[in-house]
Copies of this chain bind each other. A is one copy, B any other.
Amino acid sequence: MEVALIVGGGPGISASCARLFAKGGMRVGVAARDPDKPVLQELEKAHGVRRYACDAGEPAEIARLFESVARELGTPRLVVHNIDGRVPGIFRKKITEADPAMALETLRNSAFSAFLVGQEAARRMLQNEAGPDGAKGTILFTNASAALKGFPASGAFAMACQAKAGLAQSMARELWPQGIHVANVPIDAAIGWTQEDGTRAHRLAGTAVDDNMADPDRIAETYLHLHRQHRSTWTFEVVLRPWVEKW
């Protein structure tokens, strides 16, 4: 049974991935600062998803996380880093007004945690037996449109997203030839989804609730496609955006 680990525990992409991977026959773990939030408890109940407490910006906590997952679920063949990392106070701040401590914290939450997760995932996956298609594992980094383009009044976030993209590129060039598929997935969209009671949830208040927002269930499908790609035809970067998005 394949093991998947998702670092970041929101109700959008993380939850959709957890559900899809579990339905696809994987044993799934999700790590979050607060592993007791309702969405994660539901995932446990409905899909047997294992919950882990972890501050992904702390080296020791990431080490402990992978240790626990290995012991309890097995070594992951699929790891998703799905952390946005923006400190709220940095959002839409002009360069002259952005708080330096918040900028550094955003870098730590996002890019540095990606470094830690990617490093530990690589260490462990390299020990995996090669699968039938020769691959040892897949590491996916969720990213944002700021990875593609630094927008005004978001210097700290542009730093963090492009740092993560640079890490992913370097890791891909290093690890692909060792059998690990690393990919960067910028989501150029607001994310929205239908809740169990039929109402629509979405990250950005005030946005129209239609398919002009990325549906995390569909994002998860592309993540799974990336994991299933044969190593003769791997993809490094997939940008996902809704049909009506300007770019």
Q: Does A26 contact B (CB under 8 A)?
A: no
Complex alpha-carbon distance, A24 and B118, angstroms: 36
Per-position 1/0 for A176-187, Cβ under 8 A of B: 110101000001
Q: Does A95 contact B (CB under 8 A)?
A: yes
Chain A residues close to B by CB (< 8 Å): 59, 94-96, 98, 100-101, 103-104, 107-108, 111-112, 115-116, 118-119, 122-123, 126, 134-135, 146-147, 149-177, 179, 181, 187, 189, 211-215, 218-219, 221-222, 225, 229-245, 247
- Chain B residues near A221: list those with CB within 8 A: 229-230
| Contact indicator B229/A218 (Cβ below 8 Å) | yes
Q: How far is the CB of A110 from chain B (nearest CB, A)?
A: 10
Contact sample, A vs B, 30 pairs, CB 8 Å cutoff: A94-B174, A95-B171, A96-B123, A96-B126, A103-B115, A104-B108, A115-B155, A115-B159, A119-B155, A146-B170, A147-B166, A151-B170, A155-B174, A159-B164, A159-B167, A177-B243, A177-B244, A181-B243, A189-B232, A189-B233, A211-B232, A215-B232, A222-B229, A222-B233, A225-B225, A231-B242, A232-B242, A234-B240, A235-B238, A236-B241
Complex alpha-carbon distance, A73 and B244, angstroms: 30
Given the contacts A152-B173, A163-B166, A218 and B239 also touching, CB distance less than 8 Å: no
Complex alpha-carbon distance, A175 and B170, angstroms: 29
Complex alpha-carbon distance, A96 and B189, angstroms: 28
Residue of B nearest to A172 (CB): B150
Given the contacts A233-B241, A242-B234, A222 and B222 also touching, CB distance less than 8 Å: no
- Chain B residues near A123: list those with CB within 8 A: 96
Given the contacts A119-B95, A162-B163, A219 and B244 also touching, CB distance less than 8 Å: no
- Chain B residues near A59: list those with CB within 8 A: 100-101
Complex alpha-carbon distance, A181 and B218, angstroms: 15
* Given contact pairs A95-B119, A98-B119, a sample of 6 additional A-B residue pairs in the complex whose CB atoms are under 8 Å apart: A107-B111, A107-B163, A153-B174, A157-B170, A158-B166, A179-B243
Residue of B nearest to A152 (CB): B174
Looking at A104, A146, A167, A214, which has the most chain B CB atoms within 10 Å of its CB? A167
| Contact indicator B152/A162 (Cβ below 8 Å) | no
Partner among B96, B150, B171 whose Cβ is within 8 Å of the Cβ of A170: B150
Looking at A159, A176, A211, A225, which has the most chain B CB atoms within 10 Å of its CB? A159
